[in-house]
Amino acid sequence: MKDQLGLAGKTVLVLGGGQGNGEATCIRFADAGANVAIVDLDIGLAEKVAADVRSRGVKAVALTGDVRQPAECARLMEETARHLSVPDCLITIIGQATMKPILDLTQEDIERDLDINLRFFVYASQAFARALIAAGKGGTIAGLSSVDGIFGSPVHAAYGFAKAGLISYIKSAATEWADHGIRVNCVAPGAIVTPRVPDSEARQQVMHNSMIPLRRSGQPSEIAGALLFLSSDLSSYVTGQTLPVDGGWTAGNYFNAQRSTQGMVMDNGKKF
């Protein structure tokens, strides 16, 4: 299977690799034979994942940096090249959502959600593409958008329109960089259980009974599998695409699901 993936010996740079979807992705790439650079704001988390990656017989380095800054993105590319090699694959697993109605959103809220859900991806992909072009080789970029970038996203609109912008951006980047052998895609997760988003009983009931045809939340390993596919030779003719990994959420009757959950009380006591 490693031969079919074509990732053995390649270098993968994972932004946001310290836990949850990021940690699962680092492990999945290590099992495919890739060397991994793990970036996280918490260097302790990155070091822990790096140790796990090394235990699987490949190389790893733990790095930290603020990817909202273009200069930091360029530095992380250089650090990865110095410790491992010029990265062949860029994976981005970073994001956050401000939970407020639209009329309550402040300029600070909007700027923060744009920075951490869209702008950083532009800066990181620019730095990655420049590094690849200078090295004269192709590569792949696979980021995380969200089903909230496909649907509307009431009560967290800034997150939704930032993720929608990412979906649009990958189409432009994929078109511009195709001649350089750089493929650009993204995954749109649905309800995924992570340390930051636990699978509470209330959330389970809504997801399973109303919104998701597969009637369960997803696991980080399932996001990691999609990112591995989009970075591997198995997807060699795929670029500029968004792959929903959502248990069928975007394929189902979302309108009726929304109607069925009107007035639902969230874990924090507020209504959805």
Q: Kindly report the three-state secondary structure assignment for every residue of 122-150.
A: HHHHHHHHHHHHHHCCCEEEEEECCHHHC
Q: Where in the sequence numbering do the catalytic residues fall?
A: 159
Q: At what angle do helices 70-83 and 120-135 cross, to 10 degrees?
A: 40
C-beta of residue 105 within 8 angstroms of C-beta of residue 157 = yes
Cα separations in angstroms, 213 against 29, 98, 146, 159: 29, 27, 17, 24
182 SS3 class: strand
Query: And the tokens for 138?
Result: 């192709």
C-beta of residue 224 within 8 angstroms of C-beta of residue 250 = no
6 contacts: CB under 8 Å, gap ≥ 6? 232, 233
Q: Which of 78, 147, 90 is nearest to 120 (CA)?
A: 90
Give residue 115's identity as a one-letter amino acid code: D
Query: And the tokens for 238?
Result: 């795929």
Query: And the tokens for 65?
Result: 């940096």
